[in-house]
Amino acid sequence: MTEIAFHFNAPDRLAYVCRLLRKAVAAEAQLVVVGPPDQLDRLDSDLWTFSAADFVPHCRAQAEPGLLAASPVVLATQTEGLPHRQVLVNLGVEVPAGFERFERVIEVVGQDDADRQLARTRWRHYADRGYTMTRHDLTLKNSA
């Protein structure tokens, strides 16, 4: 069964996702990041500039098949037709269709009330279907 993890209280969701992707790629994970086009555009730009010492190889879901298969990170608006099935990072407001095909789903939740409320709805969706969720409070992690 797919493992679901909620990472709550990210002060800057996209900066956090950049660091998360860097760590996951270093561990040789293959990831798909789903979200709205404007956030994927910003993330694409941020992945090129967030660290002078590191590069996170990535591409868009529309890339040619060879590049898509070779890239450890794929940025997409939906999960259909993508080669990776290991980790799905959700930046969207709804539960991504096809999430159950992935080994693991990471929901990244910011600090604003609207984002938290939407995350609660996604949490209930997963819980109602019998998925066990792991909660990571980034406020506690950053204060330790």
pLDDT class for 142, splitting at 50, 70, 90? low
pLDDT at 8 over 90: yes
pLDDT class for 53, splitting at 50, 70, 90? confident
Closest to 81 (Cα-Cα) out of 34, 44, 16, 39 = 34
Confidence at residue 141, expressed as pLDDT on a 0 to 100 scale: 63
Q: What number is the average pLDDT over the span 39-52?
A: 93
Reading the block at residue 22, the tokens are 């860097």
State how far the Cα of 28 lies from the Cα of 133, in Å rounded to an integer: 23
Q: What are phi and psi of 128, to 5 degrees?
A: -65, -20
Map out the domains of the chain with their CATH numbers.
3-139 (3.40.50.10110)
pTM of the model: 0.94
Q: Which strand (E) or helix (H) includes residue 87?
A: strand 87-90
Q: How far from chain centre, in Å, is Cα 36?
A: 12
